[in-house]
Amino acid sequence: MNHAFRRRDLFALSLMVFGLSARALPQSDHSSAWGLDYGGTTDPAMARRFELLVLEPDFPRPIAPLRGQGSRLLGYISLGEVHGGRPFIAELEKAGALRQPNPNWPDARLVDLRDPAWTKLVLGRLVPAILQKGYDGIFMDTLDNAEAMERQDPERNKGMIAGAARLVAAIRKRFPGITIMMNRGYALLPAVATEIDLVLAEAMASRWNFNEGRYEMTSADDWAWQAGHLLAARQVNPRLTLATLDYWDPQDAATVASLYARERAAGFQPYVSTLALDRLIAEPQA
């Protein structure tokens, strides 16, 4: 992998640029900057400790009990693929907006991010449905698919990355006051950095090894590669909040604490969870 920055220089630059001047999510002694829970039984007492919380919006539950004072709640939305059980799957199929199943998740179909039918559905129904439930904004996932599709079939998928960027810009234009957080999407990040409020680097310092069935640290090169994208995005939009999501066994409190410390030292807003992402996990206390 060809990285734009040497690791040592990148880390030093991140400390200089982001150190104490980083735009952080506000924190108190009893709250955490941000967290993520895709489960349907989110603990309200735990939820109210987070200043920003990403949740799965399709569970039939009130969200007011999950909201802390001054906190923001974001609803998850997948923009690069659609699960086969969604009620609008036939509509997209008829419009020709769907592609092959995701090889890693066969129940999900890839979406043509350039297709106006998908843009219309996202703007007219999917995002409004999340906001109508009381969420303050959206957490956009699977936009990395645009780069993968364009790389795998450059002729058929020409302009997929640009199409994804147009979709993000269209969301911001239609809903100017909401909070928008994007997971990775590095290929389109330079074009949309000013359209979003937060960008997430998932599995930055640690990840789950599917082949070996265990958590592991990422390489220094992998960390630097993601950090380079975050640094570049912050140069485009100085107000952009930079978040990280790492995976580790919560019983290993010492390692979890070291992950929080490492990401904060570089100026990022960390959260550490398990691969399942089905419950909120508090940061270990010193």
Q: In the chain, where are the structural domains located?
A: 37-205+229-273
| pLDDT classification of 4: cutoffs 50, 70, 90 | very low
pLDDT reported for residue 84: 84
How many residues are there in the chain? 286
In angstroms, rounded to a whole number, what is the distance separating the alpha carbons of residues 198 and 175?
A: 16
DSSP for 217-271, written as a single string? EPPHHHHHHHHHHHHHHHHH-TT-EEEEEEE--TT-HHHHHHHHHHHHHTT-EEE
Encode pLDDT of 48-94 as tens digits: 999 999 999 999 999 999 999 999 999 999 999 999 888 899 999 89
Cα dihedral 158→160→165→171 (10° resolution): 130
| CATH code of domain 37-205+229-273 | 3.20.20.70
User: What is the value of pTM for the model shown?
Assistant: 0.88
> Which residue matches tokens 């900057």?
33
Encode pLDDT of 126-184 as tens digits: 999 999 999 999 999 999 999 999 999 999 999 999 999 999 999 999 999 999 999 99
